[in-house]
A and B are shown apart, each in its own frame.
Chain A
Amino acid sequence: MAKRKLSGSDIVIQSLVDAGVDTIFGYPGGAVLPIYDALFKQNRLKHVLVRQEGGAVHMAEGYARSTGKLGVVLVTSGPGATNAVTGLTDALMDSIPVLCLTGQVPTHLIGNDAFQEADTTGITRPCTKHNYLVKDVNDLGQVMQEAMYVARSGRPGPVVIDLPKDVLINEAPYEVGKKPVSKHKTYRPQIKGDNARIREAVELIAKAKRPLFYCGGGVVNSGPRGSKLLTEFVKMTGYPITLTLMGLGAYPATDNKFLGMVGMHGTYESNLAMHGCDVMINIGARFDDRVTGLISEFSPGSKKIHVDIDPSSINKNVAVDVPIVGDCTSVLAEMIKVWKEIKPSIDTKAINKWWDQIEKWRKRDCLAYKQSKDIIKPQYALERLQALTKDRDTYITTEVGQHQMWAAQYMKFNQPNRWMTSGGLGTMGYGFPAAIGVQMAHPKATVIDIAGEASFQMNIQEMSTAMQYRLPVKVFILNNEYMGMVRQWQELLYGSRYSESYTASLPDFVKLAESYGAAGFRATKPSEVDDVIKEMLDNDQFTIVDIAIDKGENCFPMIPSGAPHNEMLLGPDDEAEKPVSEDGMVLV
């Protein structure tokens, strides 16, 4: 196709359109005015005006995580870029493909402490997968293409392109309708796993007596086919599987082989299976410290297989026996092929014995809680939410804290891309903007942000965004008037000295919703929970639900910091018996 001369701004927009982007989240400012003017003159890109740039990145993350597509953000220079930093770090930690376009002062002013100047590439270098400063409009088309490729390929992540204002105004030839690039001169992620290693892994899996699949967000990132193949492979073997916080939905939660989430607030059966297994099959998880607990006592008797697209994830925290660098989907397909080919004879007797043991652990019913007639238990509220939403097309996001862990425990995900949460960075304020991003991508779906009253207030300004775009997002607040997880740790480790963890001067969330023209509902008694959830679901506009929950409830089970998997606390009665070690105190 013939090349046309376009301004830098038009090249930005045309590159996004050519790459199939249809929605961007942003906030205007001096340095990006040329792009906003170009946006005004077209109708192929939909722009969502946020209320603070931090919200924009989380929206793009929610959009990306729920679709598998690239999330795109547009912010201005200086404060626009610095406000985006938290979201970029979040996307880096959770491997979410985000392209963030930042305005910059004109090239001749860079380094002069100009108005709204910040060293954006310097600031974002450690919190992006890669970043660019475009100094010549003739490079812009190529950089846009490259950046989108880098963000999406391999282990996905955030990429920043810093755009000086003169570069946006100057013109350069651009080939409209250019196909996205599919390779890069230096960045070449390894997709296909090593065949010999895969065979070695499958043979180890076949001989296992106490096997466990331990899978994570990498499977979700590798696409819906990755989850299908994982489900197929797990069912072929008949082995148990646990998922990380980021992996929920990669394997159907309602299937009996699923033991629940693993880690600090994972289930008893998952964590004891991790501790006691003889072959651990890690696919797309990264041995995060929330999963491993005390690393020196982590799963001491197991041979470990680790599939990861990022070579730096392998042998980082835990030394493994069979490392396989490759994309989860590709490696799983190959594993299934080899499995069918060697037709292994599994040690059925040993596997049955292992399952008997797991069923014993399961019988402990670690997620049981004491029902109450007068006070709403958070677990009860979520069980009801799960029951009343399970037949709908539902997407769940969360903020960070106790409610997040309860949501991970009590909500059941049978498909990938339905669960959006800030796992690695633990960003309070993530869930609400993320839900807005999800709703933009899935206008007809039920999108619920399971929130705490403290987290919700961290990006509460986006209520205005939800209203402006008539997004029927539901915010489901488990309100205990505390930063619950902080309070729980203070109770456990700091003699119940609740230093600054009480959320004082809360707004009336129902009235707050109404002040925006949204709907608000409140439940203060268990008998009201179902009605409020139904009202929320029947409402086709932005809705806030304020559930007054038991203020003292803690999140169990729990592996206290510095403890191994087999020293879980199952409930409040355990707390007193097993004080946390001094080594554990220094861990977060």
Chain B
Amino acid sequence: MEPIERHTIAVLVDNEAGVLARVIGLFSGRGYNIESLTVAEVDPESAISRITVVTSGTPMIIEQIKAQLDRLVPVHRISDLTDGGASVERELALVKVRGSGNKRVEALRIADIFRARAIDSTNNSFVFEISGSPEKLDAFINLMRSLGLVEISRTGAVAIARGAKGI
């Protein structure tokens, strides 16, 4: 059995109706995994959006995913940020924590260690904003569980290659 690899793939697409459904339908129809997926317009002038999809599979499946994405008509280009040299990957999360007394102080202290900012506060709650690698977010959220974690909203990963060269 070939090993399962995790890949972050960037896809530049025409920002037209249904393009996201095409990409998602490709993954569900062919039984590929989506670990996270983000999408936003990055070039309003030429109406181009960038989809960042984190997926996993054997090397043969990853190759298939890239080939299948590339043959969708509105896809301009794709880039495998895991294969194509070094890249940076970031995710943002909003984390709501409820508590009082020591737990409240501890939550604030840990937030400080993780460089998370409190962007909303009441007498018995915080909403923290944290960004970083998905693993860092996981670690922070895990620590919050015993401190009154109420709700999490995560963006999914976005990524870009290191260095001067564009996609």
Interface centre among A126, A129, A130 (most CB of B within 10 A): A126
A312 to B17, CA, bound (A): 24
In the assembled complex, how far is the CB of residue A162 from the closest CB belonging to chain B, in whole angstroms?
11
* Beta-carbon nearest neighbor of B65 in chain A: A312
A279 to B30, CA, bound (A): 30
A243 to B155, CA, bound (A): 50
Contact pick for A319, options B14, B60, B76, CB 8 Å: B60
Contact of A186 with B by CB under 8 A: yes
Given A129-B73, A186-B14, A186-B74, residue A315 in contact with residue B64 (CB < 8 A): yes
Contact of A133 with B by CB under 8 A: yes
A122 to B25, CA, bound (A): 10
Complex interface: chain B residues within 8 A of A314 (CB): 67
Are B71 and A311 closer than 8 Å at their CB atoms? yes
Contact of B68 with A by CB under 8 A: yes
Are B67 and A312 closer than 8 Å at their CB atoms? yes
Contact pick for B67, options A150, A184, A187, A311, CB 8 Å: A311
Complex interface: chain B residues within 8 A of A154 (CB): 71
Contact of A125 with B by CB under 8 A: yes
Contact of B63 with A by CB under 8 A: yes
> What is the size, in residues, of chain A's interface with B at 8 Å between Cβ atoms?
19
A465 to B106, CA, bound (A): 79
A319 to B60, CA, bound (A): 8
Bits for B45-75, please: 1 = Cβ < 8 Å to A, else 0.
Answer: 0000000000000001001100110110111
Main secondary structure of the interface of B (DSSP, over half): helix
A312 to B21, CA, bound (A): 20
Are A312 and B75 closer than 8 Å at their CB atoms? no
Contact of B22 with A by CB under 8 A: yes
Contact of B29 with A by CB under 8 A: yes
Are B21 and A125 closer than 8 Å at their CB atoms? yes
Complex interface: chain B residues within 8 A of A125 (CB): 18, 21-22, 25
A121 to B18, CA, bound (A): 8
* Beta-carbon nearest neighbor of A316 in chain B: B64
Complex interface: chain B residues within 8 A of A126 (CB): 25, 29
A9 to B129, CA, bound (A): 54
* Beta-carbon nearest neighbor of A130 in chain B: B73
Are A315 and B18 closer than 8 Å at their CB atoms? no
Contact of A310 with B by CB under 8 A: yes
Are B63 and A315 closer than 8 Å at their CB atoms? yes
Are A312 and B73 closer than 8 Å at their CB atoms? no
Contact pick for A315, options B14, B60, B73, CB 8 Å: B60
* Beta-carbon nearest neighbor of A310 in chain B: B71
* Beta-carbon nearest neighbor of A187 in chain B: B73
Complex interface: chain B residues within 8 A of A129 (CB): 73
Complex interface: chain A residues within 8 A of B17 (CB): 133
Are B71 and A312 closer than 8 Å at their CB atoms? yes
Given A184-B73, A186-B75, residue A312 in contact with residue B64 (CB < 8 A): yes
Interface centre among B63, B67, B73, B75 (most CB of A within 10 A): B73
Are A311 and B18 closer than 8 Å at their CB atoms? no
Are B18 and A150 closer than 8 Å at their CB atoms? no
In the assembled complex, how far is the CB of residue B46 from the closest CB belonging to chain A, in whole angstroms?
10
A261 to B122, CA, bound (A): 75
Residues from 271 to 321 in A contacting B, C-beta threshold 8 Å = 310-312, 314-316, 319
A125 to B25, CA, bound (A): 8
Complex interface: chain A residues within 8 A of B73 (CB): 129-130, 150, 184, 186-187
Complex interface: chain B residues within 8 A of A121 (CB): 18
Bits for A134-155, please: 1 = Cβ < 8 Å to B, else 0.
Answer: 0000000000000000100010
A184 to B76, CA, bound (A): 11
Are A186 and B67 closer than 8 Å at their CB atoms? no
Bits for A354-395, please: 1 = Cβ < 8 Å to B, else 0.
Answer: 000000000000000000000000000000000000000000
In the assembled complex, how far is the CB of residue A517 from the closest CB belonging to chain B, in whole angstroms?
45
A sample of 19 cross-chain residue pairs with beta-carbon separation below 8 angstroms, ordered by A number, consists of: A122-B21, A125-B21, A125-B22, A125-B25, A129-B73, A130-B73, A150-B73, A154-B71, A184-B73, A186-B14, A186-B76, A187-B73, A310-B71, A311-B67, A311-B71, A312-B67, A315-B60, A315-B64, A319-B60
Please name the 3 residue pairs, one residue from A and one from B, whose CB atoms are nearest each other, closest first.
A312-B67, A130-B73, A311-B67
Known: A125-B21, A125-B22. 7 other contacts (CB 8 A): A125-B18, A126-B29, A133-B18, A186-B14, A314-B67, A315-B60, A315-B63
